[in-house]
Structure 1
């Protein structure tokens, strides 16, 4: 019995049909299915790949950089209540003219604060006084706390604090907005963080001139010592009169020059904040992936958000501008690089977010809404999605298991239609599953291998100035590795029993199962970023359901149309997400230290992005003839890009835009013996190198004869005999270049022994000191063998946990306006009463980081020899080693 219409689904009654007839029908269906499995011409395959590349450049790139038009002051009448970017831009220019604003320097302690107070008074004069009250407080605060193996001591650092309240409000729960006014030495700080300072000023103005009141008071904190280890934020949250009432914080930072601000930290455990972000923010840009990368310590930065979270504890949102991170903490971070449109983008978002949270019912009792972490992300900047972590677990597990289930149904369907044994299909699936595992390994392995080769050839960071090179050196190898095993198998081992279209489906099923298993494992391990895998699986699951519910599953390659169409959304989102993350990470490779190979991190991100965004699409090249030619095209592309990286285009650095960072100090050193005599005095340049290339590129223009690696020469000397400044953990990799003439310091750093008191019959001794010098001072304390440090003037935590904090103990002292000498003591216990022998070593460093501090002529000449592609955050410094 034959069915007359071979293109329709066979509907055969069991009546009068023999088993022989059924075998005949199945055989004919199998033959018909194989005839319909004709691969398309190979050149369509090239067009297929180019179409996705075109989609990336036509949609992902424009939306990644999309900004609203900046509102002008003249348009304010037409659009009342909206953020006015032009006014913020004018204020930003005024701050930019002040130059670097280092804690303890006049620009930061006087000029910027006079500017802020003046602008606040202007806002007060425009405020709707019938509705609002505005209070201003200037805080001078001192204190200390532990961070990163370092005791941070501060005196007289400043905060300008404004509280805006509605007169009809009786709420004691405040919303805190924070940004900082200070900069790194030598940096102009237009993006970090003057950008957010002027945004806060305009938000304050808009809130105070509005006719709409709000439930909860808003505290605007302009803090003056963030770059010096987050000091002013600590002083506010631990000591200010309004701090205890601050229930939520919006922390505003800068890690670049404008652009869109990314939400990269939230809560913790306050997902209601995500609801307000979703409902209010006009231009969302956020991802759980950024949060987990940042909190894993892969980003060489920190923000005041840590202080509010740990010492408040105050939950909140941490946002930062990230565009053009190459100028971050350099003198090139200027007003001219920041567009009015980027100010409008951040202003719109922060103003809307402020209005939403200061009217939130949750603010009355935030702890009652502490309900776990959340998963959050934006889609191409068009809208924002969030859900509870528990919901994320359910989604991840459901669609992962659903993906595995739909694969099983598909294989069963193939067996029924093709008349092949289930065991035959299961065996084929097992082979493709192993090939999928191999594809995953190669997709990660090839880019990592490239990173190792580039590092071995001293060609790391070739993408630093030309990020498009990543396409050839990491993305193409990842795609090659992903499709190579299955393509070779399909090409070199034809299967007569199962048609090619089915085998290609089975190959995709193998990828789906591997991705589902990974999703399940990562979900169990509590990685919230696992939602990225879930998105890819979800759309494949949906596409397969459509194919199975229709006849497309069994009609040649028509199923591939649904798969391809279903992958448009995940491709757009996942490529957008990883493009954004990689764009943030690339500038950071220039300041991530010497030891890790930065190419490995970038290669991993490129591989992960390639697998997730193109994992279900890349195998479809096997639907075209000669798929090996397409792989060959990828190999050729990779080869061409590799050749380009060997040219001047692959040189990482560019002057002004993509600079090499070489932090340095001009150091005068003095070593005093136990008898108080000066045993050695010398000078030199202490170079703290910040990327993988070390000093090699500097040889082009600099005379580095006698350059020494500190770890090779310091021996047992206290802190290697250098005034390391929060870089002490990497002091062994620092470089020392001797100079013959002494460094001339702007003024001396003076340590005085005021008193020595012997206690407990000579077993305990207390030393009283007085220290004066520049606004940034350091102490390094190392008791001698058989001596224990019992007490000191500073926070006792480091001494209470002696097993955690090993000598030499490090103390960083920073002052703002209070430059009076610092009195302190050390109390030590000696195992014997022989005080005629040394008890402890004390290193003292002074850092003259102010831009107004004089550099001597030799230092200026040395700095001029830096290549034009290098930038040095530099200052004079002193170091003295004393033995008591």
Structure 2
């Protein structure tokens, strides 16, 4: 109105020059005008009262989201004033420090506080008087009098001490005004009632009000809604401009047509009657379309039914007459119109789902925004649930103090862990293990003996065992293991009365592989065991049964020490159960991944008593498939001891497993406490269990399904009950299909079959896409680009048919797994059970009035609610699988492409999300743009991964190294003829990479490239006469390794000497060879290859069974021989060969040709002889270059962790 009087023309209220905060009544510059703070508030926009009226009317119709800008401006204003307050407070404080002592400052502070209370009270008294509230005003006046009296007392004290008072200043914490502490009350009243102070009070109150009430969701959501509204307005303006341009084009075309007709009428008189009729028909259709578009309001839209399945439905039921229909968004339809459509639909006996299919609201921009908002909110809620569950999943318990001996203490366990890990690598036979680690463990046990003796209720015994023996092991391949005097330390604690008839065993190993300190594998387990032993030693009550603690010293030699204990130790006979502790990662939550066999009371005891259970039968079944290149002592106790138990291991951060980075500081705080609490509670429960005496009474052969749900609770039940559950769910699926197919007639059998075929085709398409990606990645040499970053790695009628077909797909998988009695079938039972809840949930919602009709929106929400538990379960399992399997791929060998495994895991995870969302396609529109965006994002990500360092496979950091594992042996090879003369002698570097990229992908350097592959043309040895440390040459074949010739020989302190003691010809074409081996280190491998048609018949090592090893007539037999505390003087073996081919042998024939090739390799992997000068240079080179991945092209290839040693191999023919 004022603008009209002044003759000014105002822009509309939504113009960018109008202040949005002013329209909200909270513009900081307006509230602080004519004050000192006005200059600090920057607002040059228009403040006109007329705009407020227009804004209030528009805001009543729809939310304009102006409060978002107002909120931000208020927040900026408060930040500016708060900065000014802090600046002035610092200035006053500096001045006070120069002029006043601490006592004066304290008194001055008190005076100011009283003054402030008086000023505020006076303002309140005046306000109460204006409102007529006399009694309250009088009561407040009395309070002011008391405050004035208190102030006078403080003034008197101040004047007595400081007669010449300087001015004392204080800064108002609301508006930044500087106040004199000694001012009169009226001046303070003027300040607190002044415009600047009241303006800032109003600003702060408005800001707090917006933050508390208007932003129940977050400000980010309001900003998102504001952007969506702005986007909608822009789209409406664009569409309006488009319509105006279209009308203008039509008018121009109409004028052109009229002028053209007038010009061509004279020329077209000779035109045929048929052409004129076609032209008139086209004109009528065009005018009809134009009139129909003008007749319908903007809220009506055209929906083009271009989905093939809809045309099929129309052909089958004849209820869809046209592919083009005019529909109104559901939100714009009145209830009467809905009821009318529904009643008309019921009269025509048309399925209601078809009607809702035509009332699809997604094509309207308004509803599209609502759908997008719903999707954002749903993603937020599901993400919050998953985030909360992950916090519970990853949460570690509090660490107990070291002075509480009644509880497990991580602090005490870490002290012992550091003592062991600080010794460095501890291979069996090394000084670090046989002397230093042995001393630390035995001294700790002896000290605990004194504690037990003082309490006088229990006893501790210790026994040192150094067994000798041989056995066969099938691990990825088949080979024989022989050990001599390896070290076992056994402690037994039990009641004072003496050994009990029954006991349990807790096992760890304190040896390591070469070049790794072995904190998690497996010093931390020994620290946990020692701490548990200490807790038991401080008990003041007797234990029910004995507990054996086995610290074995040769697990990394393929489980030799545990075999020596369970086969030879006299204490083994009382064992009824065991707990094996392992580690293939670095900290995190320990996982129970194997249990049994049989005796299901064990798993029930664990689940009932472990305070932090983490277990999954899925891990047990995966491990028992034999696809993981690792094994544990669990196998030895199970196969050779015939006892049942638990296999528990750390699996997180497996990149440091068996590397130089397996250090104690990488173990999470709380991880040891968590594991210790579980093992302590489990061991206590086991020795108290009545089933320890007679375990067979508890359904010994029962198989159990067990799992924990994101660490919150556990589920376990028998396999018999699992079969009942699974088959019941399958019956429910059949009932659902019957009701939809025959009773309700929701779809025909053809539609269901077609939809089911679509699911299998979708699976096939995903599988085909995955295979194509594997091929492309392999061709572009991008294999294992995920190794360092596994994050790179996861119409109503037809909607219902496709949803049911998805359930059928998962039911088929569930049926197969249930048929074979797989305990992991529970996972797919959840895939069927939770989706079955969707339709009952929708029905209940309609009964209670939460929804009136089933719309795409209600479908979306119901499906999201039902699938949220499944999504959480799959998310945690995905994390578990990738946490474990991605690091394993770094030592999976050179022959199997790990992309296939990762693709398979990703495919299984993706199927859950894809198959349970593709049914929503039939109630959605405008997916083309989304598909294009996803394709563009995928191509962009692929481009980034393939052209930048994001996708490099190996990355080095001290906290989280993700490196390539390489073995380098500086070896001397000597090959002797049949007559004993030297045929060939060479020195070189034998290099193997343990992942699929192999030695071909190593960085270009003399130490690593060499002349190429080893020459295997002159031998039938499957190991190519190379110094293999292990027998898994199928995973690491010789042709994927490198032999780099070197001019210098390695330092060898005990040269090998192989002698043939006896070559004896026996009847029946048999030949017996007796061979002696002298010298060598504590680890040696034998490659025994029969020649000239001979086959292995027997030997002196184990009870030989040809079928155990191979059915091939000329197989190479691998023997791994070690010694621990003491070296044998010599190793003598005899080998019996038999020749079944050709004519009968004579003594003369046997002496002409060799019958056996024997390669003996010895390995120096610890001590002073482990490294040659060449290996020192190679270690230094790798350590320097892996820290500089950007120093040159391809320098990321230096991301290597090296296991190195000196080796000698001698080859003889006998």
TM-score by length of 2: 0.65
1:733 lines up with 2:1039 in the alignment:
yes
1:783 lines up with 2:1090 in the alignment:
yes
Counterparts of 1:426 and 1:63, CA distance in 2 = 46
Structure 2 counterparts to residues 133-172 of structure 1, below 5 A: 133-148=459-474, 149-167=478-496, 171-172=500-501
Q: Which moved more, 1:38-47 or 1:139-148?
A: 38-47
Contact 2:954 2:963 in 1 (8 A): yes
Q: Which moved more, 1:725-734 or 1:689-698?
A: 725-734
Contact 1:165 1:216 in 2 (8 A): yes
CA positional deviation for 1:82: 2.1
User: What is residue 1173 of structure 2 aligned with on the other side?
Assistant: 857
User: What is residue 751 of structure 2 aligned with on the other side?
Assistant: 428
Deviation per CA, 1:685-711: give whole Å up to 9, x if none: 111221121234422455545432237
SS in 1 for 2:555: coil
Q: Which moved more, 1:725-734 or 1:811-820?
A: 725-734
Deviation per CA, 1:138-191: give whole Å up to 9, x if none: 111000100132110000001111111124687412111111000001111001
Counterparts of 2:378 and 2:771, CA distance in 1 = 23
Question: Greater helix share, 1 or 2?
Answer: 2
1:116 lines up with 2:441 in the alignment:
yes
In the superposition, relative to structure 1, how do residues 699 and 301 fare at CA in structure 2: closer, same or farther (>3 Å)? same
Counterparts of 1:321 and 1:779, CA distance in 2 = 33
Counterparts of 2:340 and 2:680, CA distance in 1 = 60
User: What is residue 418 of structure 2 aligned with on the other side?
Assistant: 93
Counterparts of 1:469 and 1:281, CA distance in 2 = 35
Q: Which moved more, 1:684-693 or 1:442-451?
A: 442-451
Which of these residues, 583, 590, 596, is aligned with residue 254 of structure 1?
583
User: What is residue 652 of structure 1 aligned with on the other side?
Assistant: 953
Contact 1:723 1:846 in 2 (8 A): yes
Bigger RCO of structures 1 and 2 (CA < 8 A, at least 6 apart): 1
Contact 1:36 1:555 in 2 (8 A): no
User: What is residue 636 of structure 1 aligned with on the other side?
Assistant: 936
Structure 2 counterparts to residues 308-707 of structure 1, below 5 A: 308-369=637-698, 370-411=700-741, 414-415=744-745, 424-470=747-793, 475=794, 500-548=795-843, 551=846, 555-557=854-856, 558-612=858-912, 615-617=915-917, 619-620=919-920, 623-646=923-946, 647-656=948-957, 657-702=961-1006, 704-707=1008-1011
SS in 2 for 1:561: helix
Contact 2:1013 2:1039 in 1 (8 A): yes
In the superposition, relative to structure 1, how do residues 543 and 506 fare at CA in structure 2: closer, same or farther (>3 Å)? same
Contact 1:724 1:731 in 2 (8 A): no
Counterparts of 1:611 and 1:262, CA distance in 2 = 26
In the superposition, relative to structure 1, how do residues 7 and 823 fare at CA in structure 2: closer, same or farther (>3 Å)? same
CA positional deviation for 1:766: 4.1
Question: Greater strand share, 1 or 2?
Answer: 1
Which of these residues, 799, 809, 828, is aligned with residue 1136 of structure 2?
828
Q: Which moved more, 1:439-448 or 1:324-333?
A: 439-448
CA positional deviation for 1:432: 1.7
1:279 lines up with 2:605 in the alignment:
no
Counterparts of 2:572 and 2:683, CA distance in 1 = 18
1:839 lines up with 2:1155 in the alignment:
yes
Which of these residues, 503, 521, 526, is aligned with residue 197 of structure 1?
526
Deviation per CA, 1:800-822: give whole Å up to 9, x if none: 85754753222111100121223
CA positional deviation for 1:132: 1.2
Contact 1:670 1:682 in 2 (8 A): yes
SS in 2 for 1:431: helix
In the superposition, relative to structure 1, how do residues 138 and 550 fare at CA in structure 2: closer, same or farther (>3 Å)? same
User: What is residue 482 of structure 1 aligned with on the other side?
Assistant: none
In the superposition, relative to structure 1, how do residues 400 and 59 fare at CA in structure 2: closer, same or farther (>3 Å)? farther
Gaps of 5+ in 1: 13-20, 416-421, 476-499
Counterparts of 1:31 and 1:851, CA distance in 2 = 80
User: What is residue 496 of structure 1 aligned with on the other side?
Assistant: none
Gaps of 5+ in 2: 1-334, 1139-1144, 1187-1198
CA positional deviation for 1:271: 2.1
User: What is residue 201 of structure 2 aligned with on the other side?
Assistant: none
CA positional deviation for 1:759: 5.5
CA positional deviation for 1:7: 7.2
Q: Which moved more, 1:150-159 or 1:538-547?
A: 538-547
CA positional deviation for 1:543: 2.8
Contact 1:789 1:829 in 2 (8 A): yes
Counterparts of 2:904 and 2:562, CA distance in 1 = 35
User: What is residue 774 of structure 1 aligned with on the other side?
Assistant: 1081
SS in 1 for 2:467: strand
User: What is residue 478 of structure 1 aligned with on the other side?
Assistant: none
In the superposition, relative to structure 1, how do residues 413 and 799 fare at CA in structure 2: closer, same or farther (>3 Å)? closer
Counterparts of 1:571 and 1:713, CA distance in 2 = 55
1:797 lines up with 2:1120 in the alignment:
no
In the superposition, relative to structure 1, how do residues 29 and 181 fare at CA in structure 2: closer, same or farther (>3 Å)? closer
SS in 2 for 1:635: helix
Contact 1:539 1:570 in 2 (8 A): yes
Counterparts of 1:820 and 1:159, CA distance in 2 = 18
Counterparts of 1:616 and 1:453, CA distance in 2 = 28
Counterparts of 1:765 and 1:437, CA distance in 2 = 61
CA positional deviation for 1:878: 0.5
User: What is residue 250 of structure 2 aligned with on the other side?
Assistant: none
Counterparts of 1:381 and 1:285, CA distance in 2 = 6
CA positional deviation for 1:760: 4.5
Counterparts of 1:233 and 1:312, CA distance in 2 = 10
Contact 2:590 2:650 in 1 (8 A): yes
Q: Which moved more, 1:787-796 or 1:48-57?
A: 48-57
Contact 1:711 1:731 in 2 (8 A): no
In the superposition, relative to structure 1, how do residues 7 and 102 fare at CA in structure 2: closer, same or farther (>3 Å)? same
CA positional deviation for 1:565: 0.9
Deviation per CA, 1:13-66: give whole Å up to 9, x if none: xxxxxxxx9962635967864565534515347526743773476235434422
CA positional deviation for 1:786: 4.5
Count of paired positions: 834
User: What is residue 708 of structure 1 aligned with on the other side?
Assistant: 1012
CA positional deviation for 1:856: 2.2
CA positional deviation for 1:352: 1.2
TM-score by length of 1: 0.88
Counterparts of 1:684 and 1:384, CA distance in 2 = 55
Contact 1:67 1:342 in 2 (8 A): yes
User: What is residue 103 of structure 2 aligned with on the other side?
Assistant: none
Contact 1:85 1:344 in 2 (8 A): yes
In the superposition, relative to structure 1, how do residues 817 and 798 fare at CA in structure 2: closer, same or farther (>3 Å)? farther
Deviation per CA, 1:786-810: give whole Å up to 9, x if none: 4454443211224585754753222
Counterparts of 1:81 and 1:10, CA distance in 2 = 74
Counterparts of 1:529 and 1:763, CA distance in 2 = 51
User: What is residue 155 of structure 2 aligned with on the other side?
Assistant: none
Contact 2:354 2:797 in 1 (8 A): no
CA positional deviation for 1:599: 1.6
Q: Which moved more, 1:608-617 or 1:194-203?
A: 608-617
Counterparts of 1:23 and 1:618, CA distance in 2 = 29
